[in-house]
Chains A and B, each alone.
Chain A
Amino acid sequence: MFTINNLLDIMVLVIFMNMQEKLTILADSAKYDASCSSSGSALKRHGDIGNTAYSGICHSFASDGRCISLLKILMTNCCIFDCKYCLNRKSNNIKRALFTPEEICEITINFYRRNYIEGLFLSSGIIKSPDYTMNLMIETISLLRHKYKFGGYIHAKAIPGASTYLLNKLGNLVDRLSANIELPTENGLKLLAPNKDTNKITKIMEYIKENKSQTFVPAGQSTQMIIGATKETDYEIMKRSSEMYHNYSLKRVFYSAYIPVNKDNLLPSLNLPPLKRENRLYQADWLMRFYHFKVNDLLNADNPNFNLLLDPKADWALRHLEEFPKEINTCSYNDLLKIPGIGVTSAKRIISSRKYFKISFNDLQKMGIVLKRAKYFIVCDGKYFVNNLCFNRSFIESNLVLEDNLLTSLKGEQLSLF
């Protein structure tokens, strides 16, 4: 077994491994973190090189269709923890590597100057102790900010169990600081990540929330949950994330379909990651944050999982057909948002346009509003898109499911939300 507990071993690694190999190991270990956003930072730093773009910028898209905006790497994949689901757990016999602070700075600056990336996403396995690891990360990022005068985006992962004064130090250097909750329930965490505990993670979130300012973690915090490694229902997951949005003012909760990298009796064996489920959770997450939906509107104890055939909004609408069809020309903004297929942009467009003219189906099309799903749930000036008699659950449901499946089979693959 190849584990690393003393610094001497690590020094040997630093000297004998070339950059290509190190980057391969440390990017490979970091790739399971879903977050890659570079948006939300309005802070103007006085650096020599780089700035942040409030809207965020995607620089490339990986073969899995996910956006690449940050250089996402671990400082080291050596770890004293033994979390069951993690590739870098102590008991795995894998190659280990460590970047020195200078190496990380050099790569970041060289990539940034060539416009490959928006900035750095630095996470790390835990070496020696949480404080020791955090200190190394702070040294790295401080070097990047002060010596290399880097003004671009930095997202750092806080190490659970590190001292508060280190959190404070790191938070003042980065745009986003985050801690992963990893599993939706405490029991799940106890089972699969015996060295982590929920309290240590929520303590970090609490601290970031209390201290957030224009210079401390200006782009806010996010977190991530692994989906499908433990037995939680979608209802439990959504309740947990709604709670976290509320308690810690999170910018985002990321859901990451569980991908088996280790064999363990405690872990489920899956052939394919539950991508469709992940997709549904993201859709529901959006409904909560931008469409005024509550978890209990979408799911409940009797109906604890999302319908994989229909998106959560269409599913909700079909269960509440008594509220439909809605009249485009008179219904309120909030009601518009409840219509499947109508998003925030479309709703705003309808509200501002209908002051000036009466909207017909034809106008909706001209206004660039996608009617594929919406047409089943609306009337324009009293008119339904086909015979009024068709407005019933079985007609709409079969059409929606059919269209979706047709689309999927045409495209061959499902879309992901990244």
Chain B
Amino acid sequence: MNEKYIYIYNNSFLSLLNLIQTLFKNKIVPQNIKPQDYSPSLFDKIVNLDIKEDEQVIEDIINYLSSNILNTLYYVYLSSNEHKELIIYYFWGHSLKYKNKIFYMRNLKSVNAALKISKYVSRENHRLKGFLRFKELSNRILYAEIAPENNIIFLLSKHFRKRLNNEYWMIKDVKRNIYCLYDKKDCFFVDGQNFEIGPKQWSMDENNIQSLWKTFYKTIGISQRKNKRCQMNFMPKKYWKYIIEMSEDDEESYN
């Protein structure tokens, strides 16, 4: 079999693992691997193996991949990198040979790429632990919007589950239209297509607290040390829209 094909998986991490496992088993080297909803170009040769979701197979995979390799694969999967599936395929392939030593084999292109991407995802997750801003709705539920580069809402929710475990809160990923809802016990992830919240009514205090925070923010900077570049290095502009103390910052002073 000389010709290479694009293989299709079912838009989930487990389905991707299942597919790659099957490719390894049959010694197939794919031209690419893509999710179901990808739009192929004219010359793409697509194969959908339609693999049955077999829990046993997935359990086997999870058992024989060490937890930090599996973790790396998962983080790469959550990234927005357009070649992430192939990177996962090759990283996994190398890991069969090198086992846990794989983390030192940065001279291999796919290994270096995978480690870089997974670091990037975990860094963005860490950043948003700080940059996310809740607003209080009139029923005391906390509501936040984020628009991260990578699909980190699953990782991020773990943090807030521990931190605000005695509050009702929801986080919306505006880019992917996913909600995470927390009811003081569990997190639920809901697609925005099946879930709608009406016009949002903020609590009585909300405005007041926001303006106190903005006052604090403005006051705490030392004017003699002003350093916009340093500020922007640490807090890139792409996040500003949802950071309340930055969102209204007049653009002119930066340009």
Which A residues lie at the B interface, using CB under 8 A?
19-20, 23-24, 27-28, 30-32, 48-51, 53, 55, 57-69, 71-72, 107, 110-111, 113-116, 118, 257, 259, 272-273, 275, 349, 352-353, 355-357, 359, 363, 366-368, 411-416, 418
Contact = CB atoms under 8 A, between A and B. Distances in A.
Contact of A259 (B130, B160, B215, B222): B222
Contacts of A49: 164, 166-167
Q: Name the residue among B112, B221, B245 with the largest chain A CB count within 10 angstroms.
A: B221
Contacts, number: 165
Which DSSP category, helix, strand, loop or mixed, fits chain B's interface? helix
B229 A51 contact: no
12 contacts: A32-B222, A53-B129, A57-B130, A62-B231, A64-B221, A259-B222, A273-B224, A275-B225, A349-B104, A353-B104, A367-B112, A413-B228
A356 B136 contact: no
Nearest to A30: B220
* Main secondary structure on A side of the interface with B: loop
A356 B105 contact: yes
Given A353-B104, A368-B112, A23 B230 contact: no
Nearest to B115: A368
Interface residues of B, number: 55
B133 interface: yes
Contacts of A50: 163-164
Contacts of B96: none
Given A27-B215, A65-B227, A367-B106, 13 more contacts: A20-B211, A50-B163, A50-B164, A57-B129, A63-B226, A65-B234, A115-B144, A257-B225, A259-B225, A353-B107, A357-B105, A363-B107, A368-B116
A62 B221 contact: yes
B225 A111 contact: no
> Which of A23, A55, A57, A257 is the most central at the interface, judged by chain B CB atoms within 10 Å of its CB?
A57
Contacts of A367: 106-107, 112
B217 A355 contact: no
Contacts of A19: 212
B36 to A, nearest CB: 34
Contacts of A257: 225
Nearest to B132: A115
A59 B244 CA distance: 12
Contacts of A114: 133-136, 142, 209, 213
Contact of A272 (B105, B224, B235, B245): B224
Given A62-B217, A367-B106, A51 B231 contact: no
Contact of A63 (B109, B129, B167, B231): B231
Contact of B226 (A64, A368, A418): A64
B106 A368 contact: yes
B107 A113 contact: no
Given A48-B166, A366-B107, A60 B245 contact: yes
A49 B165 CA distance: 7
B225 A416 contact: yes
B101 interface: yes
